[in-house]
Structure 1
Amino acid sequence: MPLEYALQFRGKFPDPGPWKLPRSFSARPSQPLGISDLPVQRLRRSKNKPYFFNIMVVGESGLGKTTFMNTLFNTNLNDDVKGHPKNLSDSGKTLSINPTTYELSEEGVTLHLTVIDTPGFGDSLNRESNFQPIMDYIDNQYDSYLQAERSQEMRRNIKDNRVHALLYFIAPNPGNNDGLKELDSEFLIKLSMKVNVIPVIAKADSLTTEEISLYKRGILKDFEKNDIRVYPTFHAEDRENTEVEKYMPFSVIGSDDFVESNGSRVRGRKYRWGQVEVENPEHCDFVLLRDLLIRTNLQDLIDTTHSTHYAQYRSSRIRSKGRPESFLACDEYYDSRIENAKKSLTEEMQRKEDEMRQMFVSKVREKEASLREREEMLNEKRKGMMEELEKLRRSVEDEEAAINQLQAQRTVKR
């Protein structure tokens, strides 16, 4: 099939064959068939299948990555795993990358969450040696997915172990507004082209508001200088939630403890000078990051991983094996056709929606004009009736005055 399509694309077959969709004709049923319930059926069917989301956390030791993940998913993830083996050194630091899968359920929706921890990053003297295991892990997951696509699993559901989001924890650096460390810049340059990187300033409660603002500006300057493409500013297909980008990189606080606030218990930390609350937007950006990861962009992170990062990896693998460029051109051409079809469909739906809105507004205005005209007619009729009534009242008064005058004359004559 790919070879046939490649030859067709190159002009050797005028008939596009199975890739061409048959012409469709519009038809309107005389009675409702229930087609409008198809999205409901799809939603019900999708809830029966679990969703898969894989998130990697990278950063130096001591930045509270595990505590933050517990806070993010509002559960103690470590307690949920029993008997999970860990490869520990004498100093207690894990030497290998540890993916752990959890099953989270909420209102009938099941999420298989895989947290990929990378403890010990940046702790060794030769920090460059920390880069390669993480890069290899990301590439290995892409390669496993590529192999599954080539096998019989293509006809079944392929288990998706690809890294959909990478939280990169940046150490708080009070008094230093220069931006990223050299280690962070070097690694982020490599990572940002392979995976959706979301930068996070850890332990934001150790910085003042002014220090956080200056630190963020320095980090953003480094992003622009080194062409570090972080999510969602780059790669994101869903750009409706652009308001959140002005808070990047996100300054966050994690806590396994609870504090009292306005009569309720919330996650936070107590200090001698007061307390900080994790979900208070005035204290940190935790709520914004949580909404980005789960509420608004979780599906977009999965889609972007497939359509952008995995597609680049797949193309590079095909080219490295000497496959004809026509194959890649066919894939790109087919993808562009699909994207153009989606775009044109969206524009058509938007146009129809605008036409329906204008038609509705026009009908409302016509109805308002008709009602206004009727109201004016009624007012004119009422005005005429009031004038007639006033004339009758005056005539009655005149008659009464005449009668009274006659009676008075008769009395005088007597």
Structure 2
Amino acid sequence: MPLVSFIDNRPNKADYNSSLTLPHRNMPFNMAADSLIPLPKSVNVSLKAPLNIGELPAQKVRRSKRRPYVFNLMVAGDSGLGKSTFINTLFNAPLRENPGAKHLASVQTVDIQPTTYELFEENVTLHLTVVDTPGFGDTLNRDADFNPIAQYIDAQYDKYLKAERSDEKRGNILDSRIHALLYFLPPTGNGLRDLDIEFLSRFCTKVNIIPVIGKGDGLSPEESAMYKKAILKDLARNDIRTYPTHHAEDRDHLAKFEKFIPFSVVGSDDYIVKNGVKVRARVYRWGAVEVENEQHCDFVHLREMLIRTNMQDLIDTTHLVHYSLYRSGKMGGESSSNGRPASVLACDDDMYDNQMQNAKKVAMDEMKMKEEQMRQNFISRVRDKEAELRAREEALNAKRKQMMDEIDAMRRQLEM
């Protein structure tokens, strides 16, 4: 079990002072800043002796391990869907305690509760911040439930933007931006509710949002499959863009995880012994639901995507997609006060030119692909038409030959 330490990180209400903006895609994060400037032509040189330049990636890995990694995860959804238990299960540590459900009359608004943990594994340190949102969906008027969450997300973007502009903090910016938001859906089996559609529509463009079906063991496999299809139809109908389908920069593992979206998960703090091995499970009178059994739920696939394969991609996408547009929107809003034209402001983003070049390249490639496809379709249709005309011509020649033979036969009979 990893070593865990607790750090109090509750926000101040004064930090909730940001406005809502809409993010966009940007260039890949792993592209160095120097690559934005065209390099001069290079000459290929054959080495006469090894230089060990192949050790550069290993050097970068060793250097990256010296500083802790930061990952900020927000969970939202109705009370009673097992969010706290799921977080404990996800990181295999007792991170969240379930304080019990609050009485409906005592809940006034959504309470933002961030807590930071320090996890150690194989000489790698992860500063994990879990932001819980108790009270979401518990009030009769649910319109106000969105505001504290939106204000908190924008406040973290605003902190990062101020640190970028500060000469003192620019070299060591504390990243408190939300890198992923797990939105828990109740296992109703009836598609998305109006509350779910409103929440996902508002926040899918502000943060990497991942829909999750909480307490997935409440549905049979057939019901779960039908529920997932209904959710996907609602997502497409309302143009809700979720991670990793729409925002992920790393597309290598996309096909592997897309077939499980939305993830149906089960969490448990209890263990059972199966074949001499302790496994997390929920025990019922009819049997046990194993959390890490992919035949029972999608927990292992969601954990693999969040931690093993796409954690760094979630961090990169947050910076390059969602934060980038927030930053552009802030700079655009300042243009009215300082009188700078929008064309100059666009150049303030050091990735703008590269983004436009990439967009033009993608458009040109798509145009060439369509032109080639149209050309191939035209050639195919011409060939089919030629084959049809050729077949008709052969049929006419055969008919003509048959008629000439009949005429010759009749002429010979008359001559006799």
Cα RMSD between the aligned structures?
2.6
SS of corresponding position for 2:259: helix
1:261 maps onto 2:302 in alignment: no
SS of corresponding position for 1:78: coil
SS of corresponding position for 1:169: strand
Determine if contact 2:265/2:298 at 8 Å carries over to the other structure: yes
Query: Post-superposition shift, 1:90?
Result: 9.5
Greater helix fraction, Structure 1 or Structure 2: 1
Using the alignment, how far apart are the partners of 1:97 and 1:66 within structure 2?
A: 14
Partner residue of 1:276?
Answer: 289
SS of corresponding position for 2:117: strand
Partner residue of 1:297?
Answer: 310
Pick the aligned partner of 1:56 from 63, 70, 74.
74
Residues paired across the two proteins, number: 317
Per-residue CA distance 1:138-166 (angstroms, 9 max, x = gap): 11111111111111146412111000000
User: How has the CA–CA distance of structure 1 residues 91 and 113 changed in structure 2, closer, same or farther, with 3 Å as cutoff?
Assistant: farther
Partner residue of 2:112?
Answer: 97
Using the alignment, how far apart are the partners of 1:321 and 1:49 within structure 2?
A: 34
Pick the aligned partner of 2:332 from 319, 324, 343.
319
Using the alignment, how far apart are the partners of 1:238 and 1:110 within structure 2?
A: 23
1:128-167 correspondence runs (5 A): 128-153=143-168, 155-167=170-182
User: How has the CA–CA distance of structure 1 residues 119 and 155 changed in structure 2, closer, same or farther, with 3 Å as cutoff?
Assistant: closer
1:110-259 correspondence runs (5 A): 110-153=125-168, 155-173=170-188, 176-177=189-190, 179-241=191-253, 242-259=255-272
Query: Post-superposition shift, 1:210?
Result: 1.1
Code of the aligned partner of 2:266: I
Partner residue of 2:299?
Answer: 286
Code of the aligned partner of 1:97: I
Determine if contact 2:179/2:207 at 8 Å carries over to the other structure: yes
User: How has the CA–CA distance of structure 1 residues 56 and 248 changed in structure 2, closer, same or farther, with 3 Å as cutoff?
Assistant: same
Larger mean CA deviation between 220-229 and 29-38 belongs to 29-38
Code of the aligned partner of 2:162: Q
Determine if contact 1:89/1:95 at 8 Å carries over to the other structure: no
Query: Post-superposition shift, 1:261?
Result: 1.6
Query: Post-superposition shift, 1:136?
Result: 0.7
Query: Post-superposition shift, 1:101?
Result: 0.4
1:258-407 correspondence runs (5 A): 258-322=271-335, 323-330=340-347, 331=349, 332-336=351-355
Determine if contact 1:95/1:120 at 8 Å carries over to the other structure: yes
User: How has the CA–CA distance of structure 1 residues 155 and 27 changed in structure 2, closer, same or farther, with 3 Å as cutoff?
Assistant: farther
Code of the aligned partner of 2:94: N
TM-score, reference length from structure 1: 0.72
Query: Post-superposition shift, 1:91?
Result: 7.0
What runs of 5+ residues in structure 1 fail to find an aligned partner? 1-17, 80-84, 344-414
Code of the aligned partner of 1:68: F
Code of the aligned partner of 1:110: T
Larger mean CA deviation between 95-104 and 163-172 belongs to 95-104
Using the alignment, how far apart are the partners of 1:193 and 1:236 within structure 2?
A: 13
Partner residue of 1:32?
Answer: 50
Using the alignment, how far apart are the partners of 1:46 and 1:280 within structure 2?
A: 33
Code of the aligned partner of 2:229: R
Per-residue CA distance 1:349-377 (angstroms, 9 max, x = gap): xxxxxxxxxxxxxxxxxxxxxxxxxxxxx
Code of the aligned partner of 2:341: P
Query: Post-superposition shift, 1:326?
Result: 2.4
Query: Post-superposition shift, 1:49?
Result: 1.1
Query: Post-superposition shift, 1:336?
Result: 2.7
Using the alignment, how far apart are the partners of 1:198 and 1:28 within structure 2?
A: 48
Determine if contact 1:258/1:267 at 8 Å carries over to the other structure: yes
User: How has the CA–CA distance of structure 1 residues 89 and 181 changed in structure 2, closer, same or farther, with 3 Å as cutoff?
Assistant: closer
Using the alignment, how far apart are the partners of 1:268 and 1:122 within structure 2?
A: 28
Code of the aligned partner of 1:78: R
Determine if contact 2:270/2:280 at 8 Å carries over to the other structure: yes
Using the alignment, how far apart are the partners of 1:338 and 1:112 within structure 2?
A: 36
SS of corresponding position for 1:156: coil
Using the alignment, how far apart are the partners of 1:90 and 1:59 within structure 2?
A: 15
Code of the aligned partner of 1:325: A
Code of the aligned partner of 1:128: D
Using the alignment, how far apart are the partners of 1:312 and 1:201 within structure 2?
A: 29
